[in-house]
Amino acid sequence: MTNEVTTADLLGFALDLADEADNISMSYYRGDLGTTEKADGTLVTLADRAVELFLRQQITARFPDHSILGEEQGFTPGAAGEARWILDPIDGTHGFARGIPIWATLIACERNGEIEVGVASAPALETRWWAGRGLGAWRGAVAVRGGAPERIAVSTIATIEEAQVLYGAHHLCRDRWPSTFEPLLDRAWRTRGFGDFWSHCLVAEGAAEVMLEGHISPWDIAALQVIVEEAGGHLTDGAGTRTIDAGYSITSNAALHAEWLRVLGG
């Protein structure tokens, strides 16, 4: 069944999922979140659980043989050789819990070891980013997805001194690159610690040149990898390997990726 489903089919389904996920998450935003702390010290809200439950139910109903990996409910195996969905119901939960609008539902589908489609839907920012292999990367307003989306592309800036550098948690990046992270920031034209999905999307749309994550999980970047790559950029580990499983990531435009890897030192 999987081989009969096109990339466009998967992407359309993922976008439909995001429509309802946005409705669910916004019904909780800046309301009664029921926030609790997980064993690892991170936060989870009622919205995280409700969105992931919805996504899992819809995926299982449409593709019962597909496996699912989600932040809140872990891994549910499917049939051998079938696709895997990778979900982050609320990426940026800590900001979500504090009323900061920089959060999104991330939906990715992987086939044959390749992330094929990705959607990052940020209803509080009224913006969505999405991509499918061979279909380009796009940005559009959440409320008018059927209107006029804009194709996005990374910048062509080719020197660190002209680059805008974004990063996640400062201490995690410092710990990951103890001797090179701070000197890199000092060289850059401008630095900001936006964090989470948004910074990767800003690289994809050409507003920044690199996003550094000192610690990351697969569900945080699976959807973003295909968006960045279809926009002409790269999301890799420090050796330049395309992976969502390294535990950290370097996202950048194509012109500077090799230089980021060299300067950071693996």
Could you tell me if 92 and 168 lie in one domain?
no
Q: What is the pLDDT of residue 1?
A: 45
- CA atoms lying within 13 Å on the CB side of residue 208: 24
Cβ count within 10 A of residue 14: 24
In this structure, is residue 132 part of a structural domain? Answer: yes
Host domain of residue 48: 2-142
Residue 240 shares a structural domain with residue 123: no
Query: Using H for helix, E for strand and C for coil, what is the string for the chain?
Result: CHHHCCHHHHHHHHHHHHHHHHHHHHHHCCCCCCCEECCCCCEECHHHHHHHHHHHHHHHHHCCCCEEEECCCEEECCCCCCCEEEEEEEECHHHHHCCCCCCEEEEEEEECCEEEEEEEEEHHHCEEEEEECCCEEEEEEHHHCCCCCEECCCCCCCCHHHCEEEECCHHHHHHHCCCCHHHHHHHCCEEECCCHHHHHHHHHCCCCCEEEECCCCHHHHHHHHHHHHHCCCEEECCCCCCCCCCCCEEEECCCCHHHHHHHHCC
Domain of residue 42, CATH code: 3.30.540.10
Tell me the pTM.
Answer: 0.95
Q: Is residue 153 part of a domain?
A: no
Amino acid letter, residue 179? S
pLDDT in tens, 51-61: 999 999 999 99
Residues 96-131: pLDDT tens digits?
999 999 999 999 999 999 999 999 999 999 999 999
CA-based radius of gyration for the chain: 18
One domain, residues 170 and 240? yes
> At which of 111, 142, 173 does a domain end?
142
Query: C-alpha distances in angstroms, 208 versus 211, 254, 265?
Result: 8, 12, 21
What is the spatial order of strands in the sheet that 150-151 belongs to?
74-76, 67-70, 84-91, 104-111, 114-122, 127-132, 136-141, 150-151
Tokens of 262: 């060299």
155 falls within a domain: no
CA distance 199 to 215: 14
Provide the number of structural domains found in the chain. Answer: 2
Shared domain check, 82 and 214: no
Mark 16-55 as b/e (b = at least 16 C-beta within 10 Å): ebbeebbebbeebbeeebebeeeeeeebbbbbbbbbbebb
In this prediction, residue 144 carries a pLDDT of 47
Strands 164-167 and 210-213: parallel
Residues 17 and 118 in one domain: yes
Residues of the chain with pLDDT under 70: 1-3, 143-147, 266
As given in the structure block, the two tokens for residue 80 are 């051998």
- Are 62 and 94 members of one domain? yes
Return the pLDDT at 146.
Answer: 52
